Amino acid sequence: MGSLGSTAQNTEIDESVTIALVGNPNTGKTTLFNGLTGLFQRVGNYPGVTVERKEGRFDLGNGRTVRLVDLPGAYSLSALSPDETIVADVLLGRQEGEPPVSAVLAIVDATNIQRNLYLVSQILELGLPVVLALNMIDLADSRGIRIEAGEISKQLGVPVVPVCASRKSGLPEIRAALTAVVVSPAPPLRPTVPEFPDILKDQVEFLSNGAGGSNANGYVNRARVFRGIIDEGGYAEKKLLEHRGEGFRDQLDQIRENVSGGEPLSSLESAVRYDWIGSVLSNAVTRSDRLQETLSDRVDRYITHRFFGTLIFIGIMTLVFQAIYAWSGPLMDVIDSSFAWIAGKVGSTMPEGALRSLVVDGLIGGVGSVVVFVPQIGILFLFLALLEGCGYMSRAAFLMDRLFARCGLSGKSFIPLLSSFACAVPGIMAARTIEDKRERFTTILIAPLMSCSARLPVYTIFIGAFVPDRTVMGEWFGLQGLTLFAMYSVGALVAIPTAYLLKRTLLGGGTTPFILEFPSYKVPDLRTVFLRVYLSCKSFLERAGTIILAAAVVMWALAYFPRSPDIERNFEARMDEVRSRPNQVAVEAELSNLEAELASELLNQSFLGRAGRIIEPAVRPLGWDWRIGMAALASFPAREIVVATLGTIYSLGDVDESSEDLRQAMRNATWEDGRKVFTLPVALSIMVFFALCAQCTATLAIIQRETQSWKWAAFSFSYMTLFAYLGAFAVYQLTTALGWGG
Amino acid sequence: MASLGRGFVAFFILNVFRRRPMSETVNNTGSLAGMSEGEDGLVENIFGNSVITTRLRELGVTPGVRVRLLRSGCPTVVQVEGGRFCVRRKDAESIKVRIPGQER
């Protein structure tokens, strides 16, 4: 964390004032927030949950800078989702570590003003100074909805400011209105609120006084009790029972029975509020009685169409994938070679030894292995932000819901899982948009099974070396391409029953509720898009960087120690002998051979090499020798390390996945009795292992971060490793039995 | 990339030929799920007391409100005032509607 920018840095922030920005989802809230605060934002998390907390510095215009908190989008204070729980907690003053809210800036979408005023009616009951920002009034106007802001202000008793957040118009007026409500000791107008039945009001009054409601806290106490009564089985009820004791439950049930006579209380609340909204708007809004068909609806005839919609969807997803793979390639190469260059420069200035190896291989190599993912994450989040910003994302979730409902998930799981084909880290981060906790956790736990781009080098080298390059079924399918497709599918195929089982056992509870708003299509706000890309990359580097770096250093130490002076002396002697030869051209080649052989020898007797030999009995059933076992062990921090490890094992120095030398070395490798180590079944078994295994510290760190528990990270690691082992075992035994081993 | 393309083709075929909503219709007369695409109805009541029905009420699906069915099937897309959202068919069935000009 840490605020950005420079100029307003110097102004002292007035800690006594906190303004909360509240509104429905898709109302342009983030755009307004960015317009009011600019780059002076801090993004973090509310403690214990993965709801993003955004705070900005807001200049009131009279020399005072105050805190503006962008609360998550919410439809109601009934707190049906984690986002809404945070909104309710902050506004009701029970969010840990949050300062009390001094004033509320409520943003309202003018094209859907009835629905938006529902939340506003709840906020007005809190007795806080409120300023209403009426956004998209021009769009409403073009749809034939005429809104009198002055009349609404009169009816509600709070200032109402028409704004256009995307064009930044109306911002000075917002500033002035907020300054007025913050500076004046009491709000100049008393807001009007909906009238609930007397029996309910009396109960709320009685119980909130009993809760020790002084005048200052009266509104908040009443709101807490009110929500506790209305939200049957909900979060507020839980809080109320915590406060008054479990014995209060019977009394609560009696109150509810008296108030509504058995009808759901949400029915009563919504009826009263919408009645009130109707009377507030009766003189302020003129519109036709009929439901309107907008341009968005006409576009949706194609976008959500069974046939065309699916076609468009596939087109967009292909483009996203192409971009993640193709566009990120050159950038990743640049990052790779820059780190190699830095490592070379630093390495040449340091004396040979453990310290140099730690800095060059452990630290610089470790940082490089994290930074190299940034282009993919940046591009993915660029597309996610663009698609989200223009309103397509909810349509995509709609199209995918059918498929996902079958394994107990919903369409909302689609984007996280698709993203995981590039990299599970941003995929798991994208799962935050899923409100239902069980569905979110299930998605997070299966996301690492999607075949991420780091697995591709593994597939490339083994397919290139061991799968025959010929076509099957006529000229249609190349065997190598089919194998690649099979490897990409295996994770997804395993994910389906895994999700199904998780939803029926650990994260049980049937299919999750699915209700999703279709916002109107609009041009995405570029500032919001780029800010999101920037913040995603930054938080990835911060979160994953620390842990993967630590893991890389540990793995370096295991592969480096213990050093045997005997071996080094032995090779030093042989090198000296070579150097003394007369033919200098041959000497160079001989020396680099010897160095590679030394590295291989040292690796073999390091802790890692010893571990490889210890686990050999365990990996024999997979068709592996101890060297493959060691390479697999070395890849647990990050799976793509396996290629470099194999290079060292086979004394080849630096290699990459396209290295023909490495392929040849693997083809030549033999057991003690002269049989080939690598056969087609062995190659398939290794690939299936890598397809299913949780060999990525960054992913495990993000799982811990997003589930707030090491337990779930440990669980994914264990189940994936188990699946990987069983899968590799089954594939090896089956293909060997089929005689594919030759 | 090519292999990914084949996956998408498979998905496309699956999605286009997914089960038609008609085959699941049990008795939806009088509910939102029983309306046809583009048809308007007036909400009579919402049955049930779940997270979804609470949310539907908060989104403005209250007695007397005019709704339009934009997409039938599962999920169903519905318009209420200036808002459009999708719900699963099962939840759409809990919204009882009257079609203006039609006797029940």
As a whole number, the mean pLDDT across chain B is 79
User: Phi/psi of residue B79, each to 5°?
Assistant: -110, 130
The answer to which of A74-78, A472-476, A553-557 has the lowest mean pLDDT is A472-476
d(CA A266, CA B55): 9
Residue A732 lies in a domain: no
Residue B56 lies in a domain: yes
Q: Last residue of some domain: A650, A675, A700?
A: A675
Q: Mark whether A170 and A216 lie in a shared domain.
A: no
Same domain, A567 and A631: yes
Considering the domain architecture, whether residues A206 and A160 belong to the same structural domain is answered as no
Same-domain status, A56 and A113: yes
Q: What values do phi and psi take at A146, rounded to 5?
A: -95, 125
Q: Give the pairing of strands A52-59 and A65-70.
A: antiparallel
Residue A308 lies in a domain: no
- Tell me the pLDDT tens digit for each residue of A283-315: 898 887 788 888 999 999 999 998 999 999 988
B59 closest CB neighbour out of A75, A269, A311: A75
Cβ separation of A291 and B81 shorter than 8 Å?
Answer: yes
Rounded to a whole number, what is the distance in Å from the CA of A233 to chain B's nearest CA? 9
- For residue B1, what pLDDT band results from cuts at 50, 70 and 90? very low
Place of tokens 């100074």: A129
Decide if pLDDT at A547 tops 70. Answer: no
Phi first, then psi, for residue A16 (nearest 5°) are -80, -15
Stretch A476-497: mean pLDDT? 84
**Residue B34 lies inside a defined structural domain of this protein:** yes
Q: Are A293 and A299 in contact (CB under 8 A)?
A: no
Inter-helix orientation angle A584-604/A565-579, to 10°: 170
Q: Using CA atoms, how far apart are residues A553 and A633, in angstroms rounded to an integer?
A: 15
Contact B83 A325 (CB under 8 A): no
Structural domain boundaries enclosing B28: 21-98
Q: Summarize the confidence of residues A483-510 as an average pLDDT.
A: 85
Q: What is the DSSP letter of A164?
A: B
Matching residue, tokens 């209700």: A515
Task: Please name the residue of chain B whose CA is at the shortest distance from the CA of residue A272.
Answer: B62
Helix (H) or strand (E) holding A242: helix A235-244
Whether A225 and A156 share a structural domain: no
Residue B2 domain-assigned (yes or no): no
Calculate the CA dihedral of residues A694, A696, A698, A700 and round it to 10 degrees.
Answer: 20
Look up the CATH number of the domain holding residue A142: 3.40.50.300
- Determine the pLDDT at residue A682: 93
User: How do residues A214-230 score in pLDDT, each as one tens digit?
Assistant: 455 788 888 999 999 99
- Tally the domains of chain A: 3
For the segment A705-716, what is each residue's pLDDT rounded down to a tens digit? 888 889 999 999
| Closest Cβ opposite residue A322 in set B1, B57, B70 | B1
Q: What is the pLDDT of residue A671?
A: 82
Mean pLDDT computed over A566-588: 79
Quickly state the pLDDT bin for A189 (edges 50, 70, 90). low
User: Looking at residues A620-636, what average pLDDT do you find?
Assistant: 88
| Inside any domain, residue A340 | no
Instruction: Please determine, for the modelled complex, whether the ipTM score is greater than 0.95.
Output: no
Q: Are residues A536 and A648 in the same domain?
A: yes
Does A78 or A3 have the greater pLDDT score? A78
Question: Is residue B32 included in any domain, yes or no?
Answer: yes
CATH of the domain at B32: 2.30.30.90
Sign of CA dihedral A712, A714, A720, A726: negative
Q: Are B43 and B62 in contact (CB under 8 A)?
A: yes
Per residue in A656-687, is it b (16+ CB within 10 Å) or e — as a string? ebebeebbebbeebeeeeeeebbbbbbbbbbb
Q: Which of A183, A209, A241 is the last residue of a domain?
A: A183
Q: Judge whether A638 and A552 are in contact, CB under 8 Å.
A: yes
Within-domain flag for B65: yes
Look at residue A7 in the predicted model and tell me its pLDDT: 42
pLDDT in tens, A508-536: 765 667 888 999 998 998 888 888 888 77
For residue A26, give the chain B residue with the closest CA.
B83
Structural domain contains residue B90: yes
| Residue A514: HSE in the Cβ half-sphere, 13 Å Cα cutoff | 30
Structural domain total, chain B: 1
Is B23 exposed, middle or buried, given 0-12, 13-18 or 19+ CB atoms closer than 10 A? exposed
* Residue A489 counted as domain residue: no
Identify the DSSP state of A193. Answer: -
Based on the fold, state whether residues A632 and A576 are members of the same structural domain. Answer: yes
Minimum Cα–Cα distance from B19: chain A residue: A402
In a domain, A334, yes or no: no
Return the C-alpha torsion angle A676, A680, A681, A685, nearest 10.
100
pLDDT at position B100 is: 81
Domain-terminating residue out of A675, A699, A718: A675
pTM of the predicted model as reported, rounded to 2 decimal places: 0.79
Start-to-end CA span in chain B (Å): 55
In a domain, residue B48? The reply is yes
Interface of B with A in 36-95 (CB under 8 A): 40, 46, 48-60, 62-63, 65-68, 70-71, 73-75, 77, 79-88, 91
Q: Does the residue A89 lie in any domain?
A: yes
Among the listed residues A698, A700, A725, the one whose alpha carbon sits nearest the alpha carbon of residue A713 = A700
Cα R_g (chain A), whole angstroms: 31
Q: How crowded is residue A204: how many other Cβ atoms within 10 Å of its Cβ?
A: 22
Q: Which residues of B touch A311 (CB under 8 A)?
A: 12
- Is residue A248 situated within a structural domain? yes
| Single-letter residue type at B46 | I
Q: Do both A24 and A139 map to the same domain? A: yes
| pLDDT range class, residue A185, cuts 50, 70, 90 | low
**So what's the pLDDT on residue A358?**
77
Indicate if A99 and A228 belong to the same structural domain: no
Range of the domain at A238: 198-286
A270–B58 CB contact, under 8 Å:
yes
Could you tell me the CA-to-CA distances from A395 to A116, B20, B47, B77 in Å, in that order? 21, 19, 27, 10
Say if residue A126 is in the same domain as residue A240: no
Q: Does B30 touch chain A (CB under 8 A)?
A: no
Percent of chain A with pLDDT over 70: 92
Q: Kindly write down the DSSP assignment for every residue of A399-418, as one continuous string.
A: HHHHHHHTTT--GGGHHHHH
Domain membership of residue A211 (yes or no) is: yes
